[in-house]
């Protein structure tokens, strides 16, 4: 690859625990995030921006080089973090990630908005103000329809879910 390459490839990535089990307690979550951040920062050309999530999933925001094989990189992050938790933290089989992930690219002008969204995941889920495109890990039939572009430019569709008492 030529040395003189300019790129702005900003990604939001999300993945879930197997069967969306609520395994990421505060203690486990802190260790997983620390491990993931360290691993991400070791990847050449990656600019780490944020990690967040809830008890059953992780969100990541990073700017990546055009040479990065995204699926391999995410698979490595998931596999290594599960191995770390199972062998170093829990010292037993505890964490398993669900197959697959969601990845959405977005413009640099939206970077502050996406970082805030990821950092405030627990609040968004508690209030039911998540954004469908940033929570999905699989395609559905409505992907074939045009997406209304919101003011943030990433095809924002805010969902509002009522909590069952």
Q: Which residues pair with 16 in a beta bridge?
A: 57
Model confidence at 2, pLDDT cuts 50, 70, 90, reads: low
Say how far apart CA 108 and CA 113 lie, in whole Å: 10
The reported pLDDT for the residue numbered 136 is 54
Q: Please name each of the domains of the chain with its CATH number.
A: 9-144 (3.30.70.1290)
Q: Does the pLDDT of residue 67 top 60, yes or no?
A: yes
Taking 70 as the threshold, does the pLDDT of residue 132 lie above it? no
List the strands of the sheet with 57-64, edge to edge.
47-54, 57-64, 9-16, 102-106
Instruction: Give the chain as a DSSP string.
Output: --S-----EEEEEEEEBGGG-----HHHHHHHHHHHHHHHHTSTT-EEEEEEEETTEEEEEEEE-TT--HHHHHHHHHHHHHHHIIIIISSSS---BPS--EEEEE-GGGHHHHHHHHHTHHHHHHHT--BGGGT--S--GGGGSPPPP-TTSS---B---PPP-
pTM, to two decimals: 0.76
**Residues 95-118: tens digit of each pLDDT:** 999 999 999 999 999 999 899 989
For residue range 14-62, what is the model confidence (pLDDT) as tens digits?
999 999 999 999 899 999 999 999 999 999 999 999 999 988 999 999 9
């Amino acid at each position: 690859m030529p040395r003189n390459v300019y790129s702005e490839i900003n990604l939001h990535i999300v993945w879930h625990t197997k069967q969306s089990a609520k395994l990421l307690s505060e203690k486990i979550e802190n260790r997983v995030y620390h491990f993931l951040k360290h691993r991400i920062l070791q990847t050449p050309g990656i600019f780490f921006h944020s990690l967040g999530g809830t008890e059953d999933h992780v969100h990541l925001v990073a700017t990546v080089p055009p040479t990065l094989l995204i699926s391999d990189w995410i698979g490595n992050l998931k596999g290594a973090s599960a191995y770390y938790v199972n062998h170093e933290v829990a010292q037993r089989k505890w964490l398993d990630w669900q197959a697959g992930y969601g990845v959405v690219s977005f413009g640099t002008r939206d970077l502050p908005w996406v970082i805030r969204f990821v950092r405030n995941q627990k609040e968004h889920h508690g209030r039911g103000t998540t954004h469908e495109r940033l929570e999905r890990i699989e395609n559905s039939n409505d992907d074939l329809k045009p997406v209304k572009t919101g003011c943030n430019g990433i095809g924002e569709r805010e969902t509002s879910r009522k909590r069952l008492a």
